[in-house]
């Protein structure tokens, strides 16, 4: 499947599409996404520093929260990790707050790190219109002459959007963003072939989905039948109303709330575990036994329970052997660890 851009008689859309055909880093995707955002805000002469800061803010959650790898050649990942420490920005901060912090930094190195991307990104993005041969000064002059109607003209500290492109971007901003995210998804999926649900790891959700239904219509029923269950991490006994829902493999890696990965845990254990990985040797057997007992109860009492579908999507059935469950969980833990998630106790 190839996503097409809206045609326009004033701008050459085919040249815009060609920007993303051969890329070795994420720069072009985040550069253009940031330009779109600025144009939506009514800006036509755009400070490069704001574009670079928006690039970091747009990639922030993907790198810091979901820990998706951008590849060894990509400096956005390295820069964001450095900026997070230098500016003391939380890993799950909202995008607009990140942008404000980067535009008003407390570290005198932040602007230097942002302008690292001025070496190539603004010029390379325009290569379909102005070519790639010549110094930055020469390429800037070509862009200012307007040959082939490029999206913007390059200056030392800013870009000046061309009127036809401003009009095109304003009319098609949503589609253009989707086009960027679509191509970014394909790019990152190649570099993270075993990481689940890349599309849902590109943007920070406004709010996480509620797990109240998972408690009320699944685990509360199980615990009511059993009177209580033990937390697999602490061994503490839990009754209805005294537990939280825990992602066995962290949400930051799987990016979903499917029931086959959810168990009840005591609140203190859940807080201590946070986004850490459970030990397969210490915790899997208890996890499996609890899941097996829950499935037995729900299948008997509520055979049409909607959460049973979560198991069917992965295992095609609810009578799951320990080996089948382990074969599902073990590689996900390995991949998550390879992507930077730590095991409990590390």
Task: Give the number of other CB atoms < 10 A from CB of residue 119.
Answer: 11
Burial 320-333 (b: 16+ CB within 10 A, else e): beeeebeeebeebb
Q: Is residue 206 part of a domain?
A: no
Give the mean model confidence (pLDDT) for residues 295-304.
Answer: 96
Q: Does one domain contain both 179 and 310?
A: no
Does the pLDDT of residue 344 top 70, yes or no?
Answer: yes
Q: Does one domain contain both 189 and 68?
A: yes
Domain ends where: 155, 181, 201? 201
Q: Is residue 264 part of a domain?
A: yes
- Contact (CB, 8 A) for 217 and 307: yes
Burial 130-166 (b: 16+ CB within 10 A, else e): beeeeeeeebbebbeeeeeebbbbbeeebbebbeebb
Q: What is the pLDDT of residues 153-168, one digit of tens each?
A: 999 999 999 999 999 9
Task: Give the number of other CB atoms < 10 A from CB of residue 6.
Answer: 11
Rounded to whole angstroms, how far apart are CA atoms 292 and 286? 10
Q: With 0-12 CB in 10 A as exposed, 13-18 as middle and 19+ as buried, what is 66?
A: buried
Rounded to whole angstroms, how far apart are CA atoms 58 and 56? 5
Q: What percent of the chain has pLDDT over 70?
A: 99
Q: What is the pLDDT of residues 132-144, one digit of tens each?
A: 888 899 999 999 9
Task: Take residue 53 and report the two structure tokens written for it.
Answer: 């800061």
Q: Does one domain contain both 19 and 86?
A: yes
Domain ends where: 147, 175, 201? 201
Does the pLDDT of residue 234 top 70, yes or no?
Answer: yes
For the whole model, what pTM was predicted?
0.85
Locus of tokens 């899997």 = 284
Q: Where are the beta strands (DSSP E) in 89-186?
A: 152-154, 158-161
Q: Does one domain contain both 71 and 186?
A: yes
Does the pLDDT of residue 173 top 80, yes or no?
Answer: yes
pLDDT value, residue 208: 76
Q: Is residue 257 part of a domain?
A: yes
Domain of residue 233 covers 212-338
More confident residue, 291 or 340: 291
- Contact (CB, 8 A) for 181 and 58: no
Rounded to whole angstroms, how far apart are CA atoms 37 and 43? 9
Q: What is the pLDDT of residues 241-250, one digit of tens each?
A: 999 999 999 9
Task: Give the lowest-confidence range in 124-128, 244-248, 261-265, 336-340.
Answer: 336-340
3-state secondary structure 208-229: CCCCHHHHHHHHHHHHHHHCCE
Give the mean model confidence (pLDDT) for residues 178-194.
Answer: 93
More confident residue, 205 or 149: 149
Q: What is the sign, positive or negative, of the torsion defined by CA atoms of 161, 164, 167, 169?
A: negative
Quote the number of domains for the chain: 2
- Contact (CB, 8 A) for 211 and 262: yes
Q: Is residue 346 part of a domain?
A: no
Q: What percent of the chain has pLDDT over 90?
A: 85
Q: Does one domain contain both 216 and 163?
A: no
Q: Is residue 50 part of a domain?
A: yes
- Which residues touch 330 (CB under 8 Å, ≥6 apart)? 280
Q: Is residue 5 part of a domain?
A: no
Q: Does one domain contain both 296 and 268?
A: yes
Rounded to whole angstroms, how far apart are CA atoms 156 and 74? 23
Q: Is residue 280 part of a domain?
A: yes
Q: Does one domain contain both 52 and 176?
A: yes
Q: Does one domain contain both 192 and 274?
A: no
Q: Does one domain contain both 191 and 289?
A: no
- Contact (CB, 8 A) for 16 and 167: no
State the average pLDDT for the chain: 94
Q: What is the pLDDT of residues 44-101, one digit of tens each?
A: 999 999 999 999 999 999 999 999 999 888 999 999 999 999 999 998 899 999 999 9
Q: Does one domain contain both 167 and 264?
A: no
Q: Is residue 283 part of a domain?
A: yes
Locus of tokens 């990104």 = 121
Q: Does one domain contain both 175 and 226?
A: no
Q: Does one domain contain both 175 and 234?
A: no
Give the mean model confidence (pLDDT) for residues 116-120.
Answer: 94
pLDDT value, residue 2: 54
Does the pLDDT of residue 345 top 90, yes or no?
Answer: no
Q: What is the pLDDT of residues 1-18, one digit of tens each?
A: 556 899 999 999 999 999
Give the mean model confidence (pLDDT) for residues 15-44.
Answer: 94
Does the pLDDT of residue 207 top 90, yes or no?
Answer: no
Domain ends where: 171, 201, 231? 201
Burial 228-250 (b: 16+ CB within 10 A, else e): ebbbbbeebebebeebbbbbbbb
pLDDT value, residue 146: 86
């Amino acid at each position: 499947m190839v996503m097409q851009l809206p045609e326009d008689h004033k701008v050459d859309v085919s040249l815009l599409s060609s920007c993303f055909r051969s890329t070795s880093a994420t720069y072009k995707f985040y550069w253009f996404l940031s330009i779109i955002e600025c144009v939506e805000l009514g800006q036509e002469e755009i400070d490069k520093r704001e574009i670079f800061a928006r690039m970091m803010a747009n990639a922030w959650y993907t790198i810091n929260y979901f820990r998706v790898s951008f590849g060894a050649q990509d400096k956005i990942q390295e820069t964001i990790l450095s900026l997070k420490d230098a500016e003391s920005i939380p890993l799950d901060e909202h995008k607009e707050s990140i942008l404000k912090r980067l535009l008003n930094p407390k570290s005198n190195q932040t602007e230097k790190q942002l302008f690292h991307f001025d070496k190539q990104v603004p010029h390379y993005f325009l290569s379909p219109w102005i070519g790639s041969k010549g110094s930055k000064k020469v390429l800037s002059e070509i862009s200012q002459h307007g040959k082939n109607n490029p999206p913007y003209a390059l200056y030392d500290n800013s870009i000046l959007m061309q009127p036809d492109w401003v009009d095109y971007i304003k009319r098609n901003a949503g589609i253009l963003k989707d086009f960027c995210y679509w191509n970014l998804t394909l790019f990152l999926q190649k570099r993270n072939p075993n990481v689940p649900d890349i599309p849902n790891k590109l943007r920070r959700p406004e709010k996480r989905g509620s797990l109240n239904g998972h408690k009320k219509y699944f685990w509360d029923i199980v615990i009511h039948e059993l009177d209580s269950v033990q937390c697999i991490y602490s061994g503490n006994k839990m009754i209805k109303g005294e537990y939280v829902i825990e992602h066995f493999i962290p949400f930051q890696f799987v990016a979903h709330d499917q029931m086959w990965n959810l168990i009840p845990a005591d609140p203190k254990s859940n807080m201590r575990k946070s986004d850490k990985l459970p030990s397969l040797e210490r915790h899997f057997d208890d996890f499996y036994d609890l899941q097996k007992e829950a499935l037995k109860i729900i299948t008997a009492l509520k055979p049409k329970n909607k959460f049973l579908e979560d198991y069917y999507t992965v295992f095609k059935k609810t009578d799951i052997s320990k080996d089948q469950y382990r074969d599902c969980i073990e590689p996900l833990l390995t991949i998550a660890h390879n992507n930077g998630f730590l095991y409990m106790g590390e």
